[in-house]
Structure 1
Amino acid sequence: MGYRVVVAGATGNVGREMINILAEREFPIDEIAVLASSRSQGDQIEYGETGKQLTVKNIEHFDPAGWDIALFAIGSEATKVYAPKFAAAGCVVIDNSSLYRMDPDVPLIVPEVNPDAIDGYKARNIIANPNCSTAQMVVALKPLHDKATVKRVVVATYQSVSGAGKQGMDELFEQSRNIFVGDPATPVKFTKQIAFNVIPHIDSFLEDGTTKEEWKMVAETKKILDPKVKVTATCVRVPVFVGHSEALNIEFENEISAEEAQSILREAPGVMLVDKREDGGYVTPVECVGDYATFISRVREDSTVDNGLSLWCVSDNLRKGAALNAVQIAELLGRRHLKKAD
């Protein structure tokens, strides 16, 4: 016996990935409903590679009573309206927006990192999915933290334009084409030209000079991994369509060598270590697209700090950074609490 599952925001980048991953992982589903705004009502979406066509329904008129799990990818404003309605009807909401991430009554989950925290979902009947850049970083940090205790992390991100949605991807494509033909590359979605450029600015600026994206990485890592961990981040948008990269510098309380770290990461859940010290012996964003793993490369010791390591971390932000993590949360929820499919 399977679940009755809703995907809200089904026509967006993340929503479509959620549908694909549900099919790929053969999530036990008796019935699936795909929802979006009235603009997309009646559109057809293919359910993975099954050939089955799903008709998009208007979320405004959808009755969530009797449905088990809702995967939300509709942004904070719409989530504020619909998540409490679904949760009150008994449908557990797994939300990809930032709205509930720091709510103390809402668990913020990365299944490889803090699965036990999901037990608190009943307080609101809502579970939060972390920010894309945070998700892959904590997957990399968790096994090392268990071994040597992470004290401080300095991270620089190289985030793809798909993190800004379809508009971001379209802008990179259009600007690149315009530059080749000599037309102006006028920014609309981003604050500056993104084609053949990098922009050290994601989300809004805060009073202390950090951006909200950088703040999310700090606050969410503390909630998911350990409140004692110190994090400082510089988040940068780069002209890559899909796949976020991160350069991590990690200071530990206890001694850990690069060789030990490699051995730990090689066996860590959700991690794929590709670390050959030769030309091409590392993973780049292009190679991670469509994959489930968080790839780790360039593991090395940092001689400028006691117990320091540096590493390179790459993941498909539409998958582990969003859709995959949401489906993994649903799988965890089913195993630990709903158990309909047993």
Structure 2
Amino acid sequence: MRSINLAIVGATGLVGEAIIKLLADRQFPVGELFVLASENGAGGKVSFGGKSLTVKKTEDFDFSQVEVALFAAGATVSQQLAPRAAEAGAMVVDLSPAFRYESDVPLLVADVNDELLGQARENNLVACADAATVQLVRALKPLADMAPLQEVVVTQLQAVSATGRSGVDQLAQQSVRLLNGLSPSEAAQAQIAFNALPLSGQAQENGFTSEELKLMLETRRVLADQPLSVQVTTVRVPVFYGHGQSVSVRSIQPLAMAQALSVWEGQNDLDVLENDDPQAMSPVASVEGEPRLRISRTREDMEGSGGLSYFSVADNVRWGAALNAVKVVEKLLKDYL
């Protein structure tokens, strides 16, 4: 592939840092890399390709200098600056929820609905699905290819890094305070250290939370050809990185465990664990910092009704968010830029 100039908005955040590392690890053909952040992060240094890059202020950047702009700085920044970047001619790959529900913006999960990338040039804008959605649909898509899916029930164990560096810092600080016999926080914050919170995100009138609705709506949109009912419960747990998803799925036709294992084993960056070591199935032990999705505890319904259940773990920052975005850019460069 030819080299291109890239800009990363939010380069000093968790996902931005992971994107920079993946670009180097995957030897992406970068011509010039521009690392951008808010005024607070501007002036700092980022290492890439043996060079030390100076972080520039996003608001002052001329996006006509790049062919692709990756936005990993949150919805507010994307809403303000992504249209400007697109108008300047840059292909915007946005990781925030700002444009995920716009009908004229393709919502992408790499290796699931790549055919939508052809629409990207209409607005110079691609929305990446949330990390939790990427994790869920990457496992569901091979099953859907065997037979249409009818119902999916998910219990998601959500790592604190879903809220960015602030969530990671909150868990670390609360853990230290509790271990030293102090209250979890001087501020009015819910205790996450040594706890589990069954309310993640903002509660909605229908009883679901914003985090649950996000996974439900995005999954239905990405798997739009499926007659699919999705029900989600999200529990925030004291884990820094790595979402766990306990999933039960039912198809129009019975799903056999052997078939599911066979189609999963043929997927890129997806591992099927067949041992009974609980530590190997743990997000902390097996996926933190590793760009892989791992599936374990696969089992058929005891009643023989054709349903299937499994458990998956993936690093939500590096795999679900950063790797998905980098793969989208690789596919754009290969076929559409």
TM-score with structure 1 length normalisation?
0.94
SS in 2 for 1:290: coil
Matched, 1:53 2:52: yes
Q: Distance in 2 between matches of 1:187 and 1:197?
A: 17
**CA deviation profile, 1:41-79 (whole Å, cap 9, x unmatched):** 1100111xx432111001111001131001101111111
Structure 2: gaps (5+ residues): none
Q: Judging changes above 3 Å, is the alpha-carbon distance between structure 1 residues 337 and 326 closer, same or farther for their aligned structure 2 residues?
A: same
Matched with 1:84 is 83
Q: Distance in 1 between matches of 2:243 and 2:40?
A: 30
Displacement of 1:322: 0.8
Question: Structure 1 residues 282-291 or 293-302, which shifts more?
Answer: 282-291
Matched with 1:337 is 336
Considering only aligned residues, what root-mean-square deviation do their CA atoms show, in Å? 1.5
Displacement of 1:247: 0.2
Matched with 2:211 is 213
SS in 2 for 1:299: strand
Matched with 1:290 is 289
Matched with 2:299 is 300
- Contact kept in structure 1, 2:148 and 2:227, CA below 8 Å: no
- Contact kept in structure 2, 1:245 and 1:313, CA below 8 Å: yes
Q: Distance in 2 between matches of 1:187 and 1:107?
A: 43
2:315 maps to a residue whose letter is D
Matched with 2:138 is 139
SS in 1 for 2:108: coil
Displacement of 1:271: 1.4
Displacement of 1:259: 1.5
Question: Structure 1 residues 298-307 or 129-138, which shifts more?
Answer: 298-307
Structure 1: gaps (5+ residues): none
Matched with 1:174 is 173
Q: Pick from 191, 194, 198: which aligns with 2:192? A: 194
- The number of residue pairs the alignment matches comes to 334
1:141 maps to a residue whose letter is L
Displacement of 1:170: 0.9
Matched with 2:234 is 235
SS in 2 for 1:318: helix
- Contact kept in structure 1, 2:150 and 2:229, CA below 8 Å: yes
Matched with 2:270 is 271
Matched with 1:94 is 93
SS in 1 for 2:20: helix
Displacement of 1:228: 2.1
Displacement of 1:279: 3.4
**CA deviation profile, 1:149-199 (whole Å, cap 9, x unmatched):** 21110000011111111111111111111111101102758x520001011
Matched with 2:26 is 25
Matched, 1:111 2:140: no
SS in 1 for 2:336: helix
Q: Pick from 220, 223, 248: which aligns with 1:222? A: 220
